[in-house]
Chains A and B, each alone.
Chain A
Amino acid sequence: MRKVLITLVMLSLLTTGFMFAGGQEEAATDGPTSLVVSSRLWSPAAEQNFLYDEVFPEFEKENNVIVKFEILDDTVLLKRAKLQAETGRVTTDVVIVHNGVMDQWISNNYVEELPVADWPGRTFSAAFMDSIASSGKTYFAPVGGDVYLLLANNKAMKYLPAGVDVQDITWEQYIDWAVAIAEGEGEGKCAVTGVPMKSLVYMYGGMFLSYGGEFPVINSPGALEGWKLLTKMHNAYSPTVMTYDNVTAPMKSGETWLTVAHMARTGEAYRSNPSNYVIAKAPKGPKGIGSIAGVSGFGVPVGAEHRDLALKFIEFMTRPEIAVKVARGTGGFLPPIDEAIAVLGDSPVDEVIKKGVMVLQTGVVSGVPGSAYTSWGAVKQVYDDVFADMIIGTGVYDKAILDAAQAKLEALKK
């Protein structure tokens, strides 16, 4: 028994010794500089692995630097920026944030202006200029744009109303299709994110834009048209829709057959077995294809320790050939650089990206006005509540519910 105790103690001493030895070794090493990149984008492990294996090594070799990449959400990134600005100890060299919060970064002077004029051969997509620039100065370099796309399992195709082209479908036709599937199969096969505070607001918001609505107004004339149609979907959603926090899993498993969702999620299901699905632009309304468009952006925090390297990193990542490589390897986000879009091919992932580009270029798109509200999560919840009450709950159109919901949205405005 004593031997075991001695072994245990020795083992513990050894591990502690290792820790100190490791720390000393790190301190003593005069290796390459570490560039800290804190990002809200590319959270899936496979995407990070792609960046580490296929993208960062070239930059690291060119600049004798090691890229340290970490995932944090936008709220944490903003809090950290505030803390670092107050203490003057800026440990992050590059941030990648969502366009919904970019104005907070710019107005609080957390990021510096980017020398985009010194980076030739790239044109940032005009659709995102309002977010990334302010007063004629560009503060963020766009990356990872996204819109909403339609994905259908092949099994759903037999219910597609006669004469309807899935690549040019209207919302009315989409809803008739979803209803026909539910009637034919005895249960709904349509997916949307039913778990509160996910992306339902964007899917519905995009639809309302196609009817002339304004995002995120919930009772505009366009939105009312949309809600009237959506109540027909009472039984068209999957019985377990309220448990979906993203549509990838139910679409991959075949539990659901039809969805309009974020292109990264639809793209992931599509790429898992392209021959099993049809991917298309989001359905259109009288005003065209409506979609909420999001984008992330590279920025350099004011006072970043490795500022020059950070700028070199952004210049590298926004080269068209790198941008398209990143887009292909990280799930099919849009490369928001015109020159990168021009080189897309016909692989499954390029198909996803091209459909997204079509929506972006021809559709009625809106950004996410998150900063106009005290809590964007609460805005999402308002939409989620109406969905639960009026679509899944009663299936009866009730303008009073929508007016009450809009009053809540107004109260959330800053």
Chain B
Amino acid sequence: MNNVVKRQLRRSAKRTSLYIVLVGIAFIIIFPVFFLFSFSFMSDYETYSEWPKPLVPSFKANFMIDKNTEGYHLFIFNKSEDGFMPFGPLVFANNEKDIDSLRKFIKLQSNCKISSQKIVEYLKVVDNNSRVEFSIKKDLLANYILFFKVVNGAPKAVLNSLMVAGATILISLSIGGLGGYAFARYFFKGKNILKLSVLFVRMFPAVSLAIPMVIILAKMGLYDQPLGLSLVYSVGQISMSIWITASVFMSIPVSLEEAAMIFGTSKVGAFWHVTLPLALPGLAACAMYSFIGSWNEVIAAVVLTQFNPTFPVVVYKALVGSQGQINLITAGSVAQALPAIIFTLIIRKYIIQMWGGVKV
């Protein structure tokens, strides 16, 4: 084996090892997220009664009803057992009360809707043939619907979160952007120390700031208000915005503003027409950080809200309160993640532009 072949083999081995590591890392990151989504579409029965867990949720459930001297019995098909397993009450009768209880049970535990009339029809078949098997299409969005139905105040909490995120973006972008511009364009004594000091607020845990903030916000009449929460979030986000926008403004040559002013525009005009459009990717990045930061934050929000919680607080409380309802919680978690994903997708091109540098 000559040296060239040896070198090629060594390179291939290195590359293969690298790809294995990368695929492993991707798997570790993607797999839990995949399961989060997958569980959010599974019924309570699928989530808890089947092992190994299915990778993809089923689209229908198969049932069987049979009868003996005690009464009727309901069964559900279990993939792990590869057969029908007892499901629901030990025994039920053909009366309005039992049928209605059974209908509700099937809906709650298997996410399948069936009318009382249909059950009665099946019971008639059982009376003649001793058993009946049937399938019901699963309501894939049942967990999402149930989450927003059973988790008190979830829809209002979504609105609260949007308000908080919107106001946080506004406050942090306006103040942080102006601060960043000042750091980028002006020279003054203690500039570097001041620039470094704005990061100090980010060095304290959110909860340690939240507790004194309760007192301050209560005095301002903003406790348990979206605006109060956005003010608290802005404290940390402003410093981040200053650093990001300062570096962006620094990368835009001053000569461009000067050229615009030579052609007759004012200092503000030069900023508005020349610098700001070029700085948009940086501002978009700030907006993204502010949105995601405020949208997902939960610790301070738990402390600073009481009856007007944000959506993450609602999901958190549902998680803490739930016992054995993981499918419901995953639905809430996915619902929480979606707006952040959508927002990031909307502004992704500006983020990519920023990473790629400002093109003049």
CA–CA, A68 and B283, complex, Å: 40
| Closest Cβ neighbor of B346 among chain A residues | A4
Partner-contacting stretch, out of A245-253, A312-320, A368-376: A245-253
Query: Is B86 touching A11 in the complex (CB atoms < 8 A)?
Result: no
CA–CA, A276 and B87, complex, Å: 7
Query: Is A252 touching B90 in the complex (CB atoms < 8 A)?
Result: no
Contacts of B166 in A (CB 8 A): 11-12, 14-16
Query: Is A71 touching B317 in the complex (CB atoms < 8 A)?
Result: yes
> Which single member of A5, A19, A45 contacts B283 (CB below 8 Å)?
A5
Taking the nearest CB of chain A, how far is it from the CB of B237, in angstroms?
13
Main secondary structure on chain B at its contact with chain A? helix
> Which single member of B51, B87, B165, B284 contacts A253 (CB below 8 Å)?
B51
B287 in the interface (beta carbon within 8 A): yes
Contacts of A48 in B (CB 8 A): 150-152, 321
**Known contacts A1-B277, A5-B276, A15-B163; A268 and B324 CB within 8 A of each other:** yes
**Known contacts A15-B162, A19-B227, A275-B89; A246 and B323 CB within 8 A of each other:** yes
Contacts of B277 in A (CB 8 A): 1-2
Query: Is A276 touching B85 in the complex (CB atoms < 8 A)?
Result: yes
**Known contacts A12-B166, A275-B90; A43 and B321 CB within 8 A of each other:** yes
Interface size on B, residues (CB 8 A): 51
> Which single member of B225, B276, B320 contacts A43 (CB below 8 Å)?
B320
A273 in the interface (beta carbon within 8 A): yes
Query: Is B324 touching A248 in the complex (CB atoms < 8 A)?
Result: yes
CA–CA, A77 and B113, complex, Å: 41
| Closest Cβ neighbor of A13 among chain B residues | B170
Query: Is B101 touching A347 in the complex (CB atoms < 8 A)?
Result: yes
For chain A, the bracket of interface size reads 35 or more
CA–CA, A143 and B216, complex, Å: 37
Taking the nearest CB of chain A, how far is it from the CB of B306, in angstroms?
6
Q: Which of A37-52 contact B (CB under 8 A)?
A: 43-49, 52
**Known contacts A274-B90, A275-B89; A70 and B306 CB within 8 A of each other:** yes
Taking the nearest CB of chain A, how far is it from the CB of B346, in angstroms?
9
Query: Is A19 touching B167 in the complex (CB atoms < 8 A)?
Result: yes
Binary CB contact string for chain B from 275 to 317 against chain A (1 if under 8 A, 0 otherwise): 0110010011001000000000000000000110000000001
CA–CA, A13 and B166, complex, Å: 8
Query: Is A249 touching B88 in the complex (CB atoms < 8 A)?
Result: no
CA–CA, A12 and B89, complex, Å: 53
CA–CA, A129 and B156, complex, Å: 40
Most buried by B among A12, A14, A276, A348: A12
Contacts of B101 in A (CB 8 A): 347
Query: Is B89 touching A249 in the complex (CB atoms < 8 A)?
Result: no
CA–CA, A255 and B276, complex, Å: 60
CA–CA, A265 and B324, complex, Å: 9
Query: Is A68 touching B307 in the complex (CB atoms < 8 A)?
Result: yes
**Known contacts A15-B167, A45-B152, A46-B150; A273 and B276 CB within 8 A of each other:** no
B271 in the interface (beta carbon within 8 A): no
Contacts of A52 in B (CB 8 A): 152
A269 in the interface (beta carbon within 8 A): yes
Partner-contacting stretch, out of B33-41, B42-50, B187-195: B42-50
Query: Is B109 touching A49 in the complex (CB atoms < 8 A)?
Result: no
Contacts of A44 in B (CB 8 A): 321-323, 325
Q: Which residues of B contact A (CB under 8 A)?
A: 44-45, 48-49, 51, 73-74, 85-90, 101, 109, 147, 149-152, 162-163, 165-167, 169-170, 173, 225-227, 276-277, 280, 283-284, 287, 306-307, 317-318, 320-326, 328, 347, 350
Residue pairs across A and B with Cβ atoms less than 8 A apart, 27 shown, are: A1-B280, A5-B280, A12-B170, A15-B163, A15-B167, A16-B163, A16-B227, A19-B163, A19-B225, A19-B227, A23-B227, A43-B320, A44-B325, A45-B147, A45-B317, A46-B325, A47-B321, A48-B150, A70-B306, A248-B323, A253-B48, A253-B49, A265-B323, A272-B44, A272-B324, A275-B87, A347-B101
Q: Which residues of A contact B (CB under 8 A)?
A: 1-2, 4-5, 8-9, 11-16, 18-20, 23, 43-49, 52, 68-71, 154, 246, 248-249, 252-255, 264-265, 268-269, 272-276, 347-348
